[in-house]
């Protein structure tokens, strides 16, 4: 299982930085709540959360 942040236009349809989870076991692999049996038990920091204030490589703040 992985947890982190990523930009994934294929998964989300945009270029925003989002919180994600990724699960892989044998031939099964999926993101976020697309995983069968995935249950959210705390929604304080939701999956797919968009990080609005990020530093980009090559920017003045990066």
Q: Evaluate whether residue 20 is within a structural domain.
A: yes
Query: Which pLDDT score is estimated for 62?
Result: 53
Domain extent at residue 25: 2-51
Confidence band (pLDDT; 50, 70, 90) for 13? very high
Sign of CA dihedral 45, 29, 33, 41: negative
Average pLDDT over residues 10-21: 90
In a domain, 56, yes or no: no
Residue 59 included in any domain: no
Residue 44 DSSP SS3? coil
In a domain, 62, yes or no: no
- The Cα–Cα gap between 6 and 38 comes to 20
| CB-count exposure of residue 9 (10 Å: 0-12, 13-18, 19+) | exposed
Tell which residue, 21, 25, 26, has the closest CA to residue 39.
21
Give the total number of structural domains in the chain.
1
């Amino acid at each position: 299982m992985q947890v982190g942040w990523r930009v994934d236009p294929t998964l989300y349809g945009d270029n925003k930085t989002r919180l994600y989870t990724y699960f892989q076991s044998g031939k099964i692999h999926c993101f976020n709540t697309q995983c069968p049996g995935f249950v959210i038990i705390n929604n304080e920091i939701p999956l797919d959360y968009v990080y609005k204030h990020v530093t980009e490589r090559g920017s003045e703040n990066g």
